[in-house]
Chain A
Amino acid sequence: MTLHSDLVSQAKRLATLDPKRPRQANLRRSVSSSYYALFHCLVEDGAQKASRASQRSPLWHLVARKFDHKSMRDISQAIASNKEWVIATQLIIPKELRDVADAFVVLQEDRHGADYDRQLRFTRARAIEAVERAESAIAAWDQVRKTEAAALYLLTMLLGPPRK
């Protein structure tokens, strides 16, 4: 089992606890785990692609630590909304990759709400939506992870978008 698939399982379990009255703490941790499932899925592939090393290598871990949430979100927003620099690369961005990128942005926002905003009230449906979103994004990623567009997505997370 990978870390990201364990996180999906954890998010599902937390979202379906307490059948009659779900506890906010469980729903919030579920939403947070859904985001981290997708985050770690992308970091695992990104670190492997950039370091060309396995997870046993210190180099892999050095590169993995270079992925930061804000840069990943900025690049995801650009890919999902087809920003000018993305179009200028002339790469075909598959719909699946746009879906992954959009899921990343939305799940990260949900994660911020779940972890920091005490005014929000989460429902079970909302937590299940987040875990299904993460799960389908991971499945979509599996379909496109070997494409050039996916390499662009991961490498620009580390290197930043091209200069104008």
Chain B
Amino acid sequence: MSRPTPLEIHEVAANLDPEFAKAVSRWEVSVGEDSTGDPAIFVTIVFRDAAIHAAWPGRAAFRDRLRDLLFDIAPGYYPFIGFSAESEAINPEQPVRA
């Protein structure tokens, strides 16, 4: 892969772990430069609010797998992988009581 496209990266990320992907509301992917001007891939994984508490503990393992995969398929592009929630205020560590 020379210059990866956001679509290619999206496909790789979304197909890496179908079970994990069920908790994802959307994958925000862009390819460009980081704040120092180096080539970079940005992936923000936005969890569905209803699924975030179950998926949160597994995110580090997923991130590590995706990071290593992106190092292999897009060398020279540093992968920035982050997580967020649909709602601004949701705390993934504190489930809301019904």
Contacts and interface: CB of A to CB of B under 8 A. Distances in A.
Interface of A: 16, 18-22, 70, 73, 77, 80-82, 99, 102, 105-106, 109-110, 112-113, 116, 121, 123-126, 128-129, 136
Interface string B69-80: 001000100101
B21 to A, nearest CB: 17
A19 B94 CA distance: 11
B2 interface: no
A102 B67 contact: yes
B20 to A, nearest CB: 15
B30 interface: no
Contacts of A16: 91
Contacts of B71: 81-82
Nearest to A12: B93
A94 to B, nearest CB: 13
A99 B67 CA distance: 10
A109 B81 CA distance: 11
B77 to A, nearest CB: 10
Given A20-B89, A128-B93, A123 B36 contact: no
Interface residues of B, number: 27
A80 B60 CA distance: 15
Contacts of A102: 67
A22 B88 contact: yes
B17 interface: no
Contacts of A136: 60
Contacts of B60: 136
Given A106-B80, A109-B80, A73 B36 contact: yes
Contacts of B85: 123-126
Given A19-B89, A81-B71, A106-B82, A125 B35 contact: no
A60 to B, nearest CB: 28
B35 A112 contact: yes
